Structure 1
Amino acid sequence: MTVIALLSVAPVIEGSMSGEVAKAVDALEAYDVEYETNPMGTVIEADDVGELFAAAQAAHEAVDGDRVSTVLKIDDKRSRDASAEQKVEAVEEHLGRPATNRDESDDETEAE
């Protein structure tokens, strides 16, 4: 079974949150999960929902601050095993193209 989740953890502060978000992402390393961070959160995959909850809790607790906001959305499809990558590929198959309108050259320009 693959459990997929979207996790967003951030302190409720003014100014840059990237350092605190990095602490939350780094906390995931201690768990048996795969993850990928994007601008809106971190997609997490685990074989066990308990491991996913433990990883999310660790990420939440890793953020310093008087107030921390955490959003966790879970897709636990128990009848079939599909990774996050496979879900995106299924959408791209219907589209007949990548599920983005960004050029790879845009990514290279942003990295400079």
Structure 2
Amino acid sequence: MTVIGFLSVSPVQEGSLAPAVAHAVAALDEYDVTYETTPMGTVIEATDVDELLAAVGAAHTAVDGDRVSTFLKIDDKRTSETSAADKVDAVERELGRPPRRER
């Protein structure tokens, strides 16, 4: 089984969030997950929901601050093996082109 999560972790603060996001992303390296960071969050893939939640908890804890905001969306499709790349590939097939537009 593959569980896909979309994670956004940040302290509630002014200024650049990059240092805090870097701490959260680095914390994921301690877990058996794959991930890709995007401008709006990080897509995480794990073999089961427990591993995903452990990694997310570590990412949340790694961010220092008086107040930390964490958003998590989980896709736990239990009837088949579908990776994040498979999902993007399916959209690409439907579009007939890469699902990306450059300015």
How far apart, CA to CA, are the structure 1 residues paired with 2:23 and 2:72? Answer: 17
Q: Does 1:52 align with 2:63?
A: no
Larger radius of gyration: 1
Percent of aligned pairs sharing the same letter: 66
Q: Per residue, is there more helix in 1 or in 2?
A: 1
Task: Look up the match of 2:93.
Answer: 93
How far apart, CA to CA, are the structure 1 residues paired with 2:101 and 2:41? Answer: 20
SS across alignment from 1:85: helix
Opposite residue 64 of structure 1, the aligned amino acid is: D
Task: Look up the match of 2:4.
Answer: 4
TM-score by length of 1: 0.90
1:25 Cα shift? 0.2
TM-score by length of 2: 0.98
SS across alignment from 1:50: helix
How far apart, CA to CA, are the structure 1 residues paired with 2:102 and 2:49? Answer: 33
1:48 Cα shift? 1.1
Give matches, 1:39-78, under 5 Å: 39-78=39-78
SS across alignment from 2:29: helix
Task: Look up the match of 1:25.
Answer: 25
1:18 Cα shift? 0.4
Which ranges of structure 1 fall in alignment gaps of 5 or more residues? 104-112
SS across alignment from 1:13: coil
Runs of 4 or more, structure 1, over 6 Å off, are none
1:102 Cα shift? 1.5
Opposite residue 77 of structure 1, the aligned amino acid is: K
RMSD (CA atoms): 0.7
